[in-house]
Structure 1
């Protein structure tokens, strides 16, 4: 049975999310920038700001170099209690696609576990993604993590 283009895109996108989540959940942050194009955008933004078209984000990184700098900061300069993350990702909704690009929206939940505390829901929202097709597979052109709550627990250290 031949898959339609939409079905093939969906399977590729699900596999992408699985690899992305595993990278972060296994604390392999050095691999995280490899999921992005060199000229990329990564934002974490409150739903209220996003819905009103306001640009304010709690984190806005432009280019893979800034993502690598964030990883360096996590490993070498930021002081924080280490914690584990577990991503729970919904089935993506592809809103547009062509030969070069996939545009998708995917719900996420991030559960945080500190070594001496019970697990807690840390962040929930949706990824708004533009992914580019490359010879090495899908790469993020932009990812905006739109979180639902007006409040976030402590600070966001690790990528969502």
Structure 2
């Protein structure tokens, strides 16, 4: 078992809660700010992850690429509007060293289309590397491993 001091545990929990809150609010400009400049964000089906296959549904290799995705969401992607609500479990720290944490947390994403009932959109787990920066804790890498082999036509918003 890894022992963290209270401040580290609180900061990690707050990072996960702030991330879920930002994405649930639809304020997409906040999303890249949770990451270091040199980062990795990948969305991958569990089947590929478990087999060691590198194929991912989405893969971004820098904060600049995340900002490009935000631009795409706002300006170029056309889709039926919907709301997204993310619920995240408490992060489990798998490894910790000075200023670096390897964590996992379960998540569930609910989607609400206008004039429709809410539905479960996507569930899985985050596998993260988090580093301490002068601006606080940031994701250096976030691998989003979703459980279902079937996903809706497209995933527009970050998870």
* TM-score clears 0.5: yes
Counterpart residue number, 1:151? 150
For 2:7 and 2:106, locate their aligned partners in 1 and report how far apart those are by CA, in whole Å.
20
For 1:6 and 1:93, locate their aligned partners in 2 and report how far apart those are by CA, in whole Å.
14
Aligned CA RMSD, in angstroms, stands at: 1.0
CA change 1:136–1:124 in 2 (3 A) is same
Counterpart residue number, 1:33? 32
Counterpart residue number, 1:109? 108
Deviations 1:49-76 (A, max 9, x none): 0011100000000100000000000000
Counterpart residue number, 1:140? 139
> TM-score, normalised on structure 1?
0.95
3-state SS in 2 of match to 1:158:
coil
Unaligned runs of 5+ in 2: none
For 2:5 and 2:151, locate their aligned partners in 1 and report how far apart those are by CA, in whole Å.
35
> TM-score, normalised on structure 2?
0.96
Counterpart residue number, 1:70? 69
Deviations 1:109-147 (A, max 9, x none): 000001111100000000000001012111010000000
For 2:94 and 2:57, locate their aligned partners in 1 and report how far apart those are by CA, in whole Å.
26
Aligned residues: 157
For 1:115 and 1:106, locate their aligned partners in 2 and report how far apart those are by CA, in whole Å.
29
Deviations 1:65-101 (A, max 9, x none): 0000000000000001111111111111100011121
Moved segments of 4+, more than 4 Å: none
